[in-house]
Amino acid sequence: MYQADNIICSVDEVQMLECAQISAGRSAQAMMEDAGCAAFQLLRQRWPHADRILVYCGGGNNGGDGYVLARLASVSGFTVNVVALSPPSTPEAQEALERAQAVGISPKRHSRRLLEDTDVVVDALLGIGVQGTLREPYALVISEINEFGPGRLAIDVPSGLSADSGAVETDAVNADLTITFIRHKRGMVTGFGPNHCGRVVLEDLNVAQGVLGGEGLSTPWGYRMSRNWVEGALPRRPASAHKGIAGALLVIGGGIGMAGAPVLAGRAALRSGVGRVTIACHPDSQTAAAARSPELMVAALRTPGELKDLLARSNAVVIGPGLGQDTWAQEVYLTVRDYDIPKVFDADALNLLAAGPVGVSRAVLTPHPGEAGRLGQMDAGKVQRNRPAVAEMLAAQLADVCVLKGAGTLVAQAQKPTLVCDRGHPGMATAGMGDVLSGVIGALIAQGLSGYEAAGAGVWIHAVAGERAGKRGGRIGLLATDLEPHLLELRTAMDSAGMRNGR
């Protein structure tokens, strides 16, 4: 059973949970009071020296949460100002406003002066209800909150951010801290969500997970991966192990002038526990690839028959790093595409698939937004505005599993909860990082994990290795090879933990 903090829901699922609570006898007003109180307590913890609070309220129940916070702050001795951009549109929000007015709070008009004369700005404007382009005055107010506001607390979801997709059509509040209710929303953990949410704190309002089943929803939309989940998924290395039982991975790539990419993937695979890695590359790249790492076997591919012999001796294949898209690459790609073996498609293999989209059996796709756009025949911007839907679509139409890379990497497979990775480091935005990830995933598949488990565990391990490598520097300048010692450390530590726990 996943803890509530690792469960990620769509907006519809969150609303189902809330409605189920109300149907069970808990009033919407009581839940609003609990939400506003939790937000106020979090504000006091985060900004213990704040005296002046400015609360922006919209017309829905998100605005009602803001009125509750404002009332509690006022009776606690804070100087409180409230700006209401819309009149209350629900009975609960209207009651919350009236209770705030009863303690002397009177909504004011928005002004920059108010923003400049406060310690903390509370965003209770739109919550999970935002759809499409912001209308005025919301767009202007959000822009000025970002420009002039000091500390910023968002209630439930930063206004302007789609809670379902992570898209921002116009602008969104750049929160320092977001308190979200009931469950994490998928738009907060992928796309532009991480840019706007700041630190996220979940207040589940004592909503039980069992309600999902009671409403006919067997599982939520997705789960945030954790170390415990990854440890439980990884294969274990017995004391009597030899390389023959640890899997054999074939990495195909290294077209003319691109010998380095498959070597990055192959070395990452070895660090991730696979027993044997063979690089299959263009004949012109064989010498360069062989010289880079003596632990890797390197074979020159001249004919499809040679490739089939290598495939027959492998447990899984990674294709794409440095592959190219010339005639040689196309012949290699077609042979692998139609061969019955677990496969990871990366880089140019994805571009070749995009040129002639077909469903590929037993495949894990690892696109970045640009590659995903080519696969789905859309631009990268549309991918970023619809990341959950795009990942699910590609997994359903083209492969078993799609790993949509980027902030909040998604691992999607039809009929399974989507896995979300909220780990990683900005410095990982460099050439070669994707090659390393494909090698890690391929290694785990070769060791016996399903594509779904290998993709999830591989993404998490890769991201955490990047975090550890990034601690020695700033937000730029990481090399793909910097991850290698941390891949080994993580894999070794998690294998030991699994043995201690009897898994």
Decide which of 291 and 219 is more confident: 291
The pTM assigned to this predicted structure is 0.93
pLDDT tens digits, one per residue of 462-475: 999 999 999 877 77
**122 phi-psi bin (left φ>0, alpha ψ -120 to 50, beta other):** beta
Segment 4-16 shows an average pLDDT of: 91
H or E element that contains 433: helix 433-446
**Does 500 have pLDDT greater than 80?**
no
Segment 381-406 shows an average pLDDT of: 96
User: Is the bond leading into 220 cis (omega within 30 degrees of zero)?
Assistant: no
pLDDT tens digits, one per residue of 72-99: 999 999 999 999 999 999 999 999 999 9
Task: pLDDT band for 1, please (50, 70, 90 cuts).
Answer: very low
Highest mean pLDDT among 17-21, 119-123, 231-235: 119-123
* Single-letter residue type at 349: A
Residue 310 tokens, joined: 């290598």
Buried b (16+ CB within 10 A) or exposed e, 94-125: bbbbebbeeeebebeebeeebbeebbbbbbbb
Distance, CA of 345 to CA of 205 (rounded, Å): 42
H or E element that contains 248: strand 248-252
**Does 321 have pLDDT greater than 50?**
yes
Q: Give the percent of the chain with pLDDT over 70.
A: 96
Segment 249-261 shows an average pLDDT of: 97
The residue count of the chain comes to 503
Distance, CA of 16 to CA of 20 (rounded, Å): 6
Distance, CA of 179 to CA of 125 (rounded, Å): 14
pLDDT averaged over every residue in the chain: 93
In order of 62, 85, 135, 165, 183, the CA distances from 90 in angstroms are 10, 15, 20, 25, 22
**Does 340 have pLDDT greater than 70?**
yes
pLDDT tens digits, one per residue of 48-70: 999 999 999 999 999 999 999 99
Task: pLDDT band for 476, please (50, 70, 90 cuts).
Answer: confident
Please state, as a whole number, how many other Cβ atoms lie within 10 Å of the Cβ of residue 381. Answer: 11
User: Residue 497: its pLDDT value, please?
Assistant: 64
pLDDT tens digits, one per residue of 429-465: 999 999 999 999 999 999 999 999 999 999 999 999 9
User: Residue 148: its pLDDT value, please?
Assistant: 87
